[in-house]
Amino acid sequence: MPPTEVVFFQDEDGSVPVLNWIDDLSDKAQAKCVIRIERLEQMGHVLRRPEADYLRDRIYELRIGLQGINYRILYFFHGRTTAVLAHGLIKERVVPSKAINLVVDRMKQFAGKPENHTYQEG
């Protein structure tokens, strides 16, 4: 399986929700998120528990744990080789339906105009 391109979802206003969320985390949590994102790049669709899991409606989660805190990055696939990181959160008991629904909406926006919703550095 070819490597997976991982991109960050960008809102219409230019904000990048997952990058903004990661920026607010501790250095250790940021480092663990980066490691998990790199694993998604390497493994793509075959990445499974304990590192990733399928939620519903074509939405997946990257699972990051640190000092009893459950960090989650929600993502979806666009085509066969692109994963789009769309939302970050700290999970309590379950990932809230509201968060999954937000990512479903972002997936629809992305599918309509990928070029408008793909974060480009620089």
pLDDT digit string (tens) for 74-122?
A: 999 999 999 999 999 999 889 999 999 999 999 999 999 999 999 998 6
**CATH class, 5-113 region:** alpha beta
Confidence of residue 1 (pLDDT cuts 50, 70, 90): low
Instruction: Determine contact, residues 81/44, Cβ cutoff 8 Å.
Output: yes
| Cα–Cα distance measured from residue 75 to residue 85, given in angstroms and rounded to the nearest whole number | 4
pLDDT tens digits, 86-99:
999 999 889 999 99
Predicted TM-score (pTM) of this structure = 0.96
pLDDT tens digits, 16-40:
999 999 999 999 999 999 999 999 9
Instruction: Determine contact, residues 99/87, Cβ cutoff 8 Å.
Output: yes
